[in-house]
Amino acid sequence: MNDTKKVLSFAVELGDILLRNGAEVYRVEDSVLAILNAYEITDCDVYVLSNGIFASADEVTEHASSMIRHVPMYPMHLGRIAALNSLCRRVCAKEIELDAAWKELEECKKISSYSLPVLVIATAIGCGGFSYMFGGTVLDALCAVVVGAILKLFLDFESRTTHSKTITNVLASMVIAIVAVLFYISGLPVHFDKIIIGSIMPLVPGIPLTNSIRDFINGDYLSGSIRVIDALLTSFCIAVGIGIVISIVKIGGIII
């Protein structure tokens, strides 16, 4: 394998992992170009979308090489992004050989997230805080804490199934609504709407929406459109799940 293909393969692989873990489009594009330029490959083109990378190098020489990657959207992992950014800077500064960088890249892929108990506790506290912030009582917030914990456990279970993101969001929002209604019909003086509002926040696509606006500002209209559509579809799924449960309980006369 010639040097051009070797460098391009590494740059695209690093960009792939960055994009999979929620990095902005411009950051991925700049990282790939920076690595290629660091190895004096200036005859190159890199085009990054929210779910794909297109790159070519030395097109007019015998070492011409090009790569295309489809990158599915995954949850954000800031730890991996930070590690990859650090690795990219070291590669560009020639502080590490490419072969060693490949090994470190594989280690970056394996950086784990927080343990499930920590994530459950964090989600629960976050849901309770949002419920109180949006006008709920202390009791509403405590109920939202329980709903948030159940939600995270459900999402962890769903991550091991083959369900699509759309189905997962609908089912997760239904779980939120069902548990909130159960608290309401149990006789507790709670507001089920405040519990639901706080509990759906972990599902709300805030980061994709923010990144889409940033993409639009940077002139990446196609990437911005993809992220906006993803955010709107997620919001629609949340509304459908909540709406189904609320409609059913209203028909049953449980909620007025």
- CA distances to 52, 58, 148, 211 from 218, rounded to whole Å, are 17, 27, 35, 10
Q: Say yes or no to pLDDT of 226 above 90.
A: no
pLDDT tops 60 at residue 256: no
pLDDT at 2 over 60: no
Sign, CA dihedral 218-219-224-226, equals: negative
Q: In sequence order, what are the residues at sequence separation of 6 or more whose Cβ sits closer than 8 angstroms to the Cβ of residue 14?
A: 31, 32, 35, 84, 87, 88, 105
User: 59-111: per-residue pLDDT in tens?
Assistant: 777 778 999 999 887 778 889 999 999 999 999 999 999 999 999 999 999 99
CA-to-CA distance for 228 and 211, rounded, in angstroms? 9
Q: Quick one: which of 81, 250, 73 has its CA closest to 169?
A: 73
pTM of the model: 0.83
